[in-house]
């Protein structure tokens, strides 16, 4: 066997590359145009790294091993042929157009879904899986409960015997009861107590999916119709996501065998200015199929293609179009023809496979059908593909095949990275907006080679496409957030420059203005952010600077672009559709493309069909049927995992009623109905977050004197008039007392803003007794107080809660609005002079309203004030020794305080009258 020289291709220019590994820095030879990530992917595949060798020496060792195997098996006539094969194989790897790949584990083959044995086997497997899943959940809960038992012993301080005694350690008793409720027996709880000081071994996480990797076959008509057997298979797939359904027994057998080794070829590397190089592509496919035949021995092997979607995109074809599907199918047909020809040539020397001899006619018939289908493809390469399949058919008829199933689509992320990002798959394509590494090691956004070729060939406006997808790379001249707007919000040129550098690394607007980039000190000192806000990981600097989400999105699109071309209005509709099919593929279009490719591929691929986590088995049946009707050869339902914060919204459990004793119907009818009163308690849970006051707030200032000591009370209110803060100023006391009162007022204000009701403070601090105390002057409702706190909270209770019972003035003088003169009583003499309207300027702050209140506003007088001289009872009495109020009255032989209710048998001030 001689290897054509053209198969080797041209090796790119190499350079020395210093790469930092986990424990060392290695120097290897690599193509100069490759990124560090691509070189490291080859080093990871190579395993043992030879310093200063091309890609660590891995490709050379692989090519040498395969060439020696071919020489030993007689596939090469002499060492020169083996050397030519080795050099050609090595050249394809060093040029980055082909790479070896890993294998795929086989699946447990089950009977067809229509057979009774299938349901029996699956039900047993499902039972084991469910049992293990439930056991894992119960075990985790029980282990956590036993850990709490041990923690209750360890956290206890005191006598060790008492700490380990459930009768003397309440926390241990609670933990033990919880563990018992979860199913732990008392001996297990006792063991947990005894071993509380020993280190706990975490439970191993059991695998409940590994044994469920199964494959079965089914009739396409039955699955598409969704009959009873197909519905059961769909339910199994919905529950386990581990059942592969092949739509023919042959494909089920192939999937059960698995794949040991493989290789991938980048089809986009053969597309140049003159079109697609069919001759070189078929040579490389022939070369790697020969390598797989030599390396595999008796193990299954698989050859796949990468970059097929890039070939379509370079020609402006959408994957949803007929041209796109036929263009992908013809490339796979060429690969199948070349690979099977290589397998037939290897069979001529090493002998055909025994399985081929048993199924020879079926394989040859399938090859003939593929040749006919290839000739009918609407592609310029259809003739070449039909010729390649005809050659493979003739060689297989003459020599047999070493592998009847050698080519098939698959996905391999590591192989894609070694191929420069070309996705391995039926029609994989790189994202139109890719990244390129500069000589300095920086990654910059750019168009992929296929995207640039498509834009150039269609005559599109490259500048418009670049502005749309990649942006301008700067916030200068941004229509939403530019440098001038940032400076107006407090950002200096230094912070703007740092954000611009971060933007060039394509991290996004919010990441470019993060505290780690801008500087936490600037955010605190200049923008006024708190230390707690800056420390949050989700802190949004731009939102804190009052930029809206729409402005941030518009600025990000201006600087970084949309990242896509499917919505670029500067392109024609056909080209937009081509980019959209790559950027946002639809499942139905993906299935149609795979069906077109699998019509020529030898091996099937199990397509994962996504199913939402909250779907039902009936939804899985419909998804499975739709996938079967698309023409694919195998599928696997893949149910999405539930979100980590998912929780059922269960209604509150109604309270259970006490059981009633049975009553004879006659007695029940004779008994009078009993009317009972039911007390309903409504619990309102307040939000614990702080409710901040508005920056411009209303309130009032009350000046008074308690026992000769001046007290200024300042209040601040919310928009609805609710009290939100207070300040207490006393100017002639010592600094310590003054500071203590100020801090007490701050504490009360914080409590009010966090939801503590005002009446709780009032009930807690009225009637407190300490100096200064005594008569109160300057307040028309409070005439005496037992302390400063008693006066303050009496005033707040009267003003904000309507607690007239706390006022020791005449409560009739105070209307609900606080502005009237009080309602008169029959017989009171009225002062007609006071009935005139009162100007509103006496009660409304002109500064707070910013002059919005009109000067001619008045408050109408709706009440009358009694003529002075008619004092309330007890006003001239003695001071009560209990509360300090001047409200002692004589009632019989006792002296009673009208304010606090204190009684005394001593004669009061009324005794002499």
Contact criterion met (CB below 8 Å) for 422 and 309: no
Distance (Å, rounded) from C-alpha 349 to C-alpha 337?
19
Residue 824: predicted pLDDT? 45
- In this structure, are 597 and 617 located in the same domain? no
Q: Is residue 373 assigned to a domain? A: yes
- In this structure, are 28 and 79 located in the same domain? yes
Distance (Å, rounded) from C-alpha 125 to C-alpha 107?
14
Q: The dihedral of CA 173, 179, 184, 188: what is its sign?
A: negative
Listed in order, strand segments (DSSP E) in 552-649 are 607-611, 634-639
Nearest to 601 by CA among 293, 398, 366, 269: 366
- In this structure, are 413 and 515 located in the same domain? no
Q: If you write DSSP's letter for every residue of 518-556 in order, what string do you get?
A: H-HHHHHHTS---HHHHHSTT--HHHHTT--HHHHHHHH
- In this structure, are 387 and 415 located in the same domain? yes
- In this structure, are 136 and 21 located in the same domain? no
Q: Is residue 659 assigned to a domain? A: no
Distance (Å, rounded) from C-alpha 639 to C-alpha 620?
9
Strands 243-246 and 214-217: parallel
Contact criterion met (CB below 8 Å) for 243 and 233: yes
- In this structure, are 722 and 868 located in the same domain? yes
Query: Which of 590-617 are b and which e, b meaning 16 or more Cβ less than 10 Å from the residue's Cβ?
Result: bbbbbbbbbbbbbbbbbbebebeeebeb
- Residue range of the domain that includes 137: 116-194
Residue 601: predicted pLDDT? 93
Q: The dihedral of CA 541, 542, 543, 544: what is its sign?
A: positive
Q: Is residue 889 assigned to a domain? A: yes
Partnered with residue 725 across adjacent β-strands are 716
- In this structure, are 389 and 538 located in the same domain? no
Which contacts (CB < 8 Å, 24+ apart) does range 150-159 have?
Answer: 150/192, 150/193, 150/195, 150/196, 150/200, 151/175, 151/196, 153/193, 153/196, 153/197, 154/196, 154/197
If DSSP codes are grouped into helix, strand and coil, which group holds residue 856? Answer: coil
Query: Which of 702-716 are b and which e, b meaning 16 or more Cβ less than 10 Å from the residue's Cβ?
Result: bebbbbebebebebb
Residue 822: predicted pLDDT? 43
- What do you get for the CA distance between the two ends of the chain, in Å? 140
Report DSSP state, residue 55.
Answer: G
Q: Is residue 717 assigned to a domain? A: yes
Strands 275-276 and 271-272: antiparallel
Distance (Å, rounded) from C-alpha 495 to C-alpha 795?
52
Distance (Å, rounded) from C-alpha 699 to C-alpha 747?
18
Left, alpha or beta for 818 (phi > 0: left; psi -120 to 50: alpha)?
left
Provide the H-helix boundaries in 351-432. Answer: 354-358, 360-375, 382-399, 413-418
Q: If you write DSSP's letter for every residue of 810-844 in order, what string do you get?
A: -GGG--TTS-S-----TTPPB-GGGGSPEEGGGTS
Report DSSP state, residue 612.
Answer: -
CATH number at residue 455: 3.20.70.20
Nearest to 213 by CA among 511, 527, 636: 636
Residue 199: predicted pLDDT? 67
Strands 701-706 and 858-859: unpaired
Strands 607-611 and 634-639: parallel
Q: Is residue 673 assigned to a domain? A: no
Give me the number of domains the chain comprises: 7
pTM, entire model: 0.65
Distance (Å, rounded) from C-alpha 824 to C-alpha 95?
105
CA 576 to chain centre: 30
- In this structure, are 514 and 623 located in the same domain? no
- In this structure, are 613 and 594 located in the same domain? no
Contact criterion met (CB below 8 Å) for 234 and 637: yes
Task: List Cβ neighbours of 527 (8 Å cut-off, separation of 6 or more).
Answer: 489, 490, 541, 544, 545
- In this structure, are 858 and 709 located in the same domain? yes
Contact criterion met (CB below 8 Å) for 716 and 694: no
Helix (H) / strand (E) containing 6: none
Residue 834: predicted pLDDT? 47
Number of Cβ within 10 Å of residue 207's Cβ equals 10
**Maximum C-alpha span of the chain:** 143
Contact criterion met (CB below 8 Å) for 278 and 384: yes
What angle in degrees, to the nearest 10, is found between the helix axes of 382-399 and 322-350? 20
Residue 869: predicted pLDDT? 42
pLDDT tens digits, one per residue of 82-94 = 999 999 999 999 9
- In this structure, are 430 and 413 located in the same domain? yes
Share of the chain above pLDDT 90, in %: 25
- In this structure, are 860 and 758 located in the same domain? yes
Final residue of a structural domain among 502, 529, 560: 560
Task: List Cβ neighbours of 76 (8 Å cut-off, separation of 6 or more).
Answer: 1, 67, 70, 82, 85
Distance (Å, rounded) from C-alpha 418 to C-alpha 38?
5
Rg (CA), the chain: 43
Task: List Cβ neighbours of 724 (8 Å cut-off, separation of 6 or more).
Answer: 691, 693, 697, 716, 717, 718, 749, 752, 753
Q: Is residue 202 assigned to a domain? A: no
Residue 58: predicted pLDDT? 92
CA 413 to chain centre: 23
Left, alpha or beta for 660 (phi > 0: left; psi -120 to 50: alpha)?
beta
Give the chain's residues under pLDDT 50: 5, 206-211, 662, 665, 668-670, 674, 676, 811-834, 862-875, 908-913
Task: List Cβ neighbours of 353 (8 Å cut-off, separation of 6 or more).
Answer: 347, 400, 401, 402, 403, 404
Contact criterion met (CB below 8 Å) for 888 and 897: yes
The HSE-up count of residue 392 (CA atoms within 13 Å, CB side) is 38
Tokens, residue 553? 């999105």
Strands 271-272 and 433-437: unpaired
Number of Cβ within 10 Å of residue 660's Cβ equals 6
- Please tell me whether the peptide bond between 139 and the residue prior to it is cis, using omega within 30 degrees of 0: no
Q: Is residue 505 assigned to a domain? A: yes
Nearest to 582 by CA among 344, 710, 792, 423: 423
Q: The dihedral of CA 856, 858, 860, 861: what is its sign?
A: negative
Residue 134: predicted pLDDT? 74
Q: What are phi and psi of 776, to 5 degrees?
A: -115, 125
Nearest to 566 by CA among 553, 589, 582: 582
- Please tell me whether the peptide bond between 772 and the residue prior to it is cis, using omega within 30 degrees of 0: yes
Number of Cβ within 10 Å of residue 271's Cβ equals 19
Provide the H-helix boundaries in 155-270. Answer: 160-163, 170-181, 186-194, 220-225, 228-240, 249-257
For the beta sheet containing 888-891, the strands, ordered from the edge strand earlier in sequence to the opposite edge, are 888-891, 894-897, 903-904
Residue 781: predicted pLDDT? 86
Q: Is residue 682 assigned to a domain? A: no
Number of Cβ within 10 Å of residue 557's Cβ equals 18
């Amino acid at each position: 066997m001689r290897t054509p020289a053209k198969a080797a291709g041209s090796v790119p220019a190499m350079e020395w590359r210093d790469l930092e590994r986990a424990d060392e820095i290695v120097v290897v030879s690599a193509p100069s145009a490759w990124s560090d990530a691509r070189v490291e992917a080859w080093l990871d595949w190579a395993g043992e790294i030879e310093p200063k060798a091309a890609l660590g020496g891995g490709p050379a060792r692989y090519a040498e091993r395969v060439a020696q195997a071919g020489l030993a098996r007689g596939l090469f006539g002499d060492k020169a042929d083996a050397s030519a094969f080795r050099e050609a194989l090595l050249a394809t790897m060093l040029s980055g157009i082909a790479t070896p790949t890993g294998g795929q584990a086989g699946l447990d083959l089950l009977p067809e879904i229509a057979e009774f044995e299938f349901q029996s086997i699956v039900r047993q497997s499902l039972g084991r899986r469910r049992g293990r899943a439930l056991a894992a959940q119960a075990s985790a809960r029980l282990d956590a409960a036993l850990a709490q038992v041990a923690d209750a012993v360890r956290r206890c301080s005191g006598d060790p015997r008492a700490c380990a005694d459930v009768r003397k350690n309440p926390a241990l008793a609670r933990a033990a009861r919880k563990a018992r409720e979860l199913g732990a027996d008392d001996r297990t709880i006792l063991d947990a107590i005894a071993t509380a000081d020993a280190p706990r071994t975490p439970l191993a996480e059991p695998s409940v999916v590994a044994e469920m990797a199964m494959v079965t076959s089914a009739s396409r008509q039955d699955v598409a119709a969704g009959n009873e057997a197909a519905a059961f298979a769909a339910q199994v797939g919905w529950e386990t996501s581990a059942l592969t359904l092949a739509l023919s027994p042959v494909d089920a057998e192939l999937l059960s065998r698995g794949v040991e080794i493989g290789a991938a070829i980048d089809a986009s590397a053969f597309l140049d200015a003159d079109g697609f190089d069919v001759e070189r592509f078929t040579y490389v496919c022939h070369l790697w199929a020969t390598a797989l035949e030599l390396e595999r021995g008796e193990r299954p092997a698989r050859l796949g293609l990468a970059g097929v979607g890039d070939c379509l995109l370079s020609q402006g074809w959408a994957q949803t179009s007929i041209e796109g599907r036929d263009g992908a199918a013809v490339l796979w047909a060429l690969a199948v023809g070349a690979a099977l020809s290589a397998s037939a040539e290897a069979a001529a020397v090493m002998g055909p496979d025994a399985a081929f001899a048993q199924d020879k006619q079926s394989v040859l018939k399938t090859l003939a059908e593929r040749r006919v289908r290839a000739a009918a493809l609407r592609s310029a390469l259809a003739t070449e593909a039909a010729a390649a399949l005809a050659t493979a058919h003739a060689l297989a008829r003459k020599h047999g095949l070493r592998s009847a199933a050698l080519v098939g689509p698959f996905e391999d992320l590591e192989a894609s990275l070694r191929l420069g990002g070309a996705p391995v798959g039926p029609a994989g394509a790189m994202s139109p907006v890719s990244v390129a590494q500069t000589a300095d090691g920086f990654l910059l956004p750019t168009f992929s080679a296929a995207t640039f070729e498509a834009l150039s060939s269609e005559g599109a406006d490259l500048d418009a496409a670049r502005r749309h997808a990649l942006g301008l790379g700067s916030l200068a001249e941004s229509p939403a957030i530019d440098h001038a707007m940032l400076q107006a919000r407090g950002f200096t040129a230094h912070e703007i420059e740092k954000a611009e550098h971060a933007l060039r690394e394509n991290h996004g607007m919010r990441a470019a203005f993060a505290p780690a980039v801008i500087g936490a000190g600037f955010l605190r000192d200049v923008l006024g952010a708190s230390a707690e806000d800056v420390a949050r990981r989700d802190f949004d600097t731009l939102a804190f600077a009052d930029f809206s989400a729409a402005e941030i999105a518009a600025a990000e699109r201006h600087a970084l672009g949309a990242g896509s071309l499917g919505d670029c209005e500067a392109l024609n509709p056909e080209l937009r559709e081509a980019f959209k099919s790559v950027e946002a593929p639809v499942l139905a279009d993906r299935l149609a493309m795979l069906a077109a490719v699998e019509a020529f591929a030898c091996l099937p691929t199990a397509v994962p069909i996504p199913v939402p986590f909250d779907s039902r088995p009936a939804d899985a049946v419909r998804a499975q049927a739709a996938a079967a009707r698309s023409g694919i050869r195998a599928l696997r339902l893949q149910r999405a995992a539930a979100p980590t914060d998912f929780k059922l919204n269960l209604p509150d459990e109604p309270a259970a009623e006490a059981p009633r004793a049975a009553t004879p119907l006659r007695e029940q009818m004779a008994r009078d109905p009993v009317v009972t009163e039911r007390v309903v308690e409504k619990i309102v849970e307040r939000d614990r977050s702080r409710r901040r006051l508005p920056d411009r707030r209303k309130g009032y200032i009350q000046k008074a004197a308690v026992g000769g000591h001046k007290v200024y009370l300042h209040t601040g209110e919310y928009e609805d008039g609710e009290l939100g803060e207070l300040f207490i100023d006393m100017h002639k006391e010592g600094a310590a007392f003054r500071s203590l009162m100020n801090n007490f007022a701050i504490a009360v204000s914080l409590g009010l803003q966090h939801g503590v009701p005002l009446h709780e403070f009032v009930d807690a601090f009225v009637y407190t007794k300490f100096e200064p105390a005594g008569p109160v002057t300057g307040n028309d409702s409070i005439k005496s107080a037992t302390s400063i706190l008693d006066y303050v909270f009496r005033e707040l209770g009267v003003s904000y809660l309507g607690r007239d019972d706390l006022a020791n003035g005449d409560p009739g003088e105070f209307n609900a609005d606080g502005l009237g003169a009080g309602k008169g009583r029959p017989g009171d003499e009225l002062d007609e002079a006071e009935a005139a309207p009162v100007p509103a300027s006496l009660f409304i702050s002109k500064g707070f309203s910013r002059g919005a209140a009109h000067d001619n506003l008045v408050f109408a007088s709706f009440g009358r004030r009694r003529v002075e001289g008619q004092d309330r009872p007890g006003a001239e009495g003695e001071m009560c020794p209990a509360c300090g109020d001047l409200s002692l009255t004589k009632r019989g032989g006792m002296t009673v305080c009208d304010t606090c209710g204190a009684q005394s048998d001593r004669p009061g001030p009324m005794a002499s009258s």
